[in-house]
Every structure is written in structure tokens, then in C-alpha cells.
């Protein structure tokens, strides 16, 4: 994850996330070259990419396990972020 890349244009995107999910989000870093990651007030970690929002974990620890170790847990292994959850 690259925290510098996450800050580019993140204010507007964070505002859209707040409107959609009802809580504030802070930029965390860049994941997988095309996904900016945000951590919400609740601790949930989201990845936002071209036309998609992907929940990486309901907690930071869960998201870290998914990103670093590949532990899919729950139903995240079945998600296809490029097919759903468009952020408007």
C-alpha cells in the first residue's frame, strides 16, 4: 500500500463514501495499483477503484489479513469488485 497515492483526489472520493455509507472515511493507501483504500470510522476498510467499491474487511486486522495473506474469510473471496458496487 502506498499512502502518497491515496491522497490524490481523495477528498472528493471520501465525501462520496461518507454520503453512501453514512460515516466518514480516511485515505489509507493504494492497493493493487488501481484501488485507493479508505478506513471508515467503524474500522471497515474499503478499496475504491474504477467504477467499484470493494469491502476488504470489517476491521483493519481482517483487511490486512486479506490483503497480505490472502485470507478470504467470509464472502470476500467470491466478490468481483469490477462488476458491482459502483461509487456515484
Name the residue ranges covered by the structural domains of the chain.
Answer: 3-72
- The whole-number pLDDT of residue 80 equals 46
Residue 78 clears pLDDT 50, i.e. is over it: no
Q: Which residue has the higher pLDDT, 72 or 57?
A: 57
pLDDT at 64: 84
Question: For the segment 2-55, what is each residue's pLDDT rounded down to a tens digit?
Answer: 555 556 678 788 888 999 999 999 888 887 778 888 999 999 999 888 888 888
Exposed, middle or buried, 37 (CB in 10 Å: 0-12/13-18/19+)? buried
pTM given for the model: 0.72
DSSP state for residue 68 in the 8-state scheme: I
Determine the Cα–Cα distance for residues 74 and 35; give it in Å rounded to an integer: 21
Amino acid at each position: 500500500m502506498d499512502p502518497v497515492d491515496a491522497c490524490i483526489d481523495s477528498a472528493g472520493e471520501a465525501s462520496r463514501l461518507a454520503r453512501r455509507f453514512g460515516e466518514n472515511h480516511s485515505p489509507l493507501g493504494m492497493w493493487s495499483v488501481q484501488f485507493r483504500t479508505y478506513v471508515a470510522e467503524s474500522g471497515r476498510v474499503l478499496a475504491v477503484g474504477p467504477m467499484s467499491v470493494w469491502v476488504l474487511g470489517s476491521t483493519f486486522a481482517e483487511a490486512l489479513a486479506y490483503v497480505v495473506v490472502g485470507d478470504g474469510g467470509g464472502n470476500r473471496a467470491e466478490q468481483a469488485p469490477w462488476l458491482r458496487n459502483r461509487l456515484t
